[in-house]
Amino acid sequence: MAGVNMSLGTEATISPDHTDVTNSSWLLNRTVPERNGSVQVTGSAVKECTQISIPTEVYLILAGISLLENLLVIIAVIKNRNLHSPMYFFICSLAISDILLSLTKAWEAVTISVISGKEHLFTHVLIKILDDIYDSLLCISFTASVFNLAAITTDRYITIFHALRYHNIMTKKRVAVIIAAIWIFCTFTGIIMISFAKYDGIVSFFFILFFITLVLILSLYIFIFLLAQVHAKQIRSLPGYRAHQRTNFKGALRLTILLGIFIVCWAPFSLHFTLYLFCPSNPYCACFICLFQVDLIFIMCHSIIDPLIYAFQNPELCNTFKKMLCCFKRHA
């Protein structure tokens, strides 16, 4: 009976029962006897909540799409000098964290599918180290993603509410310092979280982080939205103006999509760790915990949708991207 490893999504376990190691059994056979003692005890796999596993191909496809989109964003920002402003630097930083997330996840999936069945070729230490490295990188990219989203929201807030002093507040040097601080803190956090993964407090740290960032993003966007309504009312109150509810509706829809996607993609992962902390042996919690890989898929989807809602909503960036495509077509 193997122990528990709280590394993110992977587990380096030592199983005394080596009968099922012949091929990539983890993909096919999920009800291996030693996995869960209760299976042997009850003997019925029907009532069990087994770990839902996602094939490696799905990870690779999602990672490929995310890599492509975020690379396009970064290249577009680099090529167009008009886009060298704080807002786009934050979007670039978000794109980098999304690339790191997708690449790490894809590499981990590939490594697992390669190694499973051939464990005897690799030393235990090597596999453990690889496992830790992948988990640290995932942790770093998760926290960086969340912090970059918060930074983008704060930047938009300052743009709206301190419009006249924006240039003094967001100098290029300050932006560089902020982005560097985010990445250094995330690297530090990721390494610490994996090194001390056996302590419960570390797991709750991620949930607290997500919750604080969610509250921050929600409140900032609500403020921005309220100000937009105030402006809209002012413009509407001018004579000779006819109200168009449709545009306000579109604003509300856009904000709902933005916040909704963030919540939908990150909440399952955070709830997973919360349930793992507080009720790991509860059968209901265990069934949610078994859906861990689905949670990871949602986070990868978030890294795919991020460029669409943050970067490509921007006409300037879209135009740059179209020019790049036209140039590429002309050369090809």
Partner 1 sequence: MSEASAVANKTTVSNSDYIWRYEYYDDEPVSFEGLKAHKYSIVIGFWVGLAVFVIFMFFILTLLTKTGAPHQENVDLSTKQHRTNSFAINYIMSRSDKAFSHRENEEPRSLFHCYVNEIVQLERQQFVNKAHGAGNSDLTTRGREGRSDSSDDPMNCLTKFNIPNFVSSDQSSSLTEDDLLMCEQPIIPENKPDRLQDIHNISD
Contact set for partner 1, span 280-319 (CB under 8 A): 280-293, 313-316, 319
| Distance between CA atoms of residues 221 and 234, nearest Å | 20
The encoded tokens of residue 246 equal: 């449709």
- Which residue do the tokens 């997973």 mark? 272
Regarding 55 and contact with partner 1 (CB under 8 A), the answer is no
Least distance between partner 1 and beta carbon 74 (Å)? 18
Residue 24 or residue 187: which is nearer to partner 1 going by CB?
24
Regarding 228 and contact with partner 1 (CB under 8 A), the answer is yes
Regarding 31 and contact with partner 1 (CB under 8 A), the answer is no
Contacts of 250 by beta carbon, 8 Å cutoff, 6+ apart: none
Least distance between partner 1 and beta carbon 262 (Å)? 10
Regarding 177 and contact with partner 1 (CB under 8 A), the answer is no
Q: DSSP labels for 226-256?
A: HHHHHHHHHHHHSTT----HHHHHHHHHHHH
19 neighbors 34 (Cβ within 8 angstroms): no
Regarding 255 and contact with partner 1 (CB under 8 A), the answer is yes
| Distance between CA atoms of residues 186 and 33, nearest Å | 38
The encoded tokens of residue 90 equal: 């934050």
Judged by CB under 8 A, the chain residues 106 through 135 that form the site for partner 1 are 112, 115-116, 119-120, 122, 124, 127-128, 131
Q: End-to-end distance of the chain based on CA atoms, in angstroms?
A: 58
Residue 212 or residue 230: which is nearer to partner 1 going by CB?
230
Regarding 75 and contact with partner 1 (CB under 8 A), the answer is no
| Distance between CA atoms of residues 57 and 140, nearest Å | 24
Among 31, 78, 184, 198, binds partner 1 (CB under 8 A): 198
Least distance between partner 1 and beta carbon 332 (Å)? 26
